[in-house]
Amino acid sequence: MENEIIEDEREAVPLSKSEIIAERILKRIHVHDVDVGGVFTEITGSQGSGKTSVLLSFMAYTMKHYPNEKIFWSSCYNAPLQFVKIGKDYFHIMVKQDSGVMFYDRSNKLMRIELPVTFFSDYNNLYEKALPGRCNAVFFGDRFKWMEFLHYLRSVGEWCHIYIDEISEICPAFTCGKLWHRIGEFSMDLKEVRKCMMNVHMNTQSVSDIDHRVRTKVMVKMYLPGARADTISRITQVAIDNLEEDSLHGNEAYLEYSGKFGRTRFKDIFKPIPGMQWEARIDGK
């Protein structure tokens, strides 16, 4: 991959109890055991704290160790495409037919560009055309469609992985009407991911921006510097505020799972790649 992991040159020291717990939680995130099942992970922190880099590192691990499984990435519109940092040979852009999705070069006055894409018609067609061992970056033109697609993936009977950048755009807090009911059904799908061989990883700048029904289904919580403590978490705001930011050795983070929590570091290893400063927009928006 174009972004390589830089080895920590500091002298190795024994892990603390907190670090050991964090390592065990990370192992739970990556394990592929039908008896154990999938996992639903929430990553939160301030802007620039490394949320997207954590998502990308999880995805890179999956691509390396489980190359026959399918990976799906949900991007924000009108914002830099983060999945491209994984490297041009590792992603596959997929666009819904007649969705009006177009791509622009942010480094060249937002000039419209043509990228190699695979068009799909429906969820079956999308799943069939998705490439195993690659980041299938999917654009429906409507981010709310990810709720329906995740429901569809529950029935495929194969290990699959979903990475959602800024989940608050898909299931925001304080909705009403049809969207409120739609998010409620989505939250029940998230409750069942463990049983359906699905790993769902999402990030957000603030947990309060997410519908509370979705937040209560999270299995693993990860706090990076600048995060706001969740009211349903055992990790306090004071502990989060004491997380260390280190551009050389990586930012610290807390991981919480099943009543236990540990502390670890994540390196900011994925940087923008020259010539790939792109964004997606919907025609007319």
Residue 11 lies in a domain: no
- If one counts the domains in the chain, the total is 1
Bridge-based pairing of strands 70-74 and 91-96 is: unpaired
Residue 3 lies in a domain: no
Q: Residue 48's pLDDT is what? A: 85
Residue 9 lies in a domain: no
Residue 134 lies in a domain: yes
Residue 5 lies in a domain: no
Q: Name residues of the chain where pLDDT drops below 70.
A: 1-14, 268, 284-285
Residue 161 lies in a domain: yes
Q: Residue 7's pLDDT is what? A: 41
Residue 10 lies in a domain: no
Q: Residue 8's pLDDT is what? A: 43
Dist CA 285 CA 281 (whole Å): 7
* CATH code assigned at 52: 3.40.50.300
pLDDT in tens, 25-35: 999 999 888 88
Dist CA 61 CA 155 (whole Å): 24
> Residue 223 belongs to what domain range?
17-282
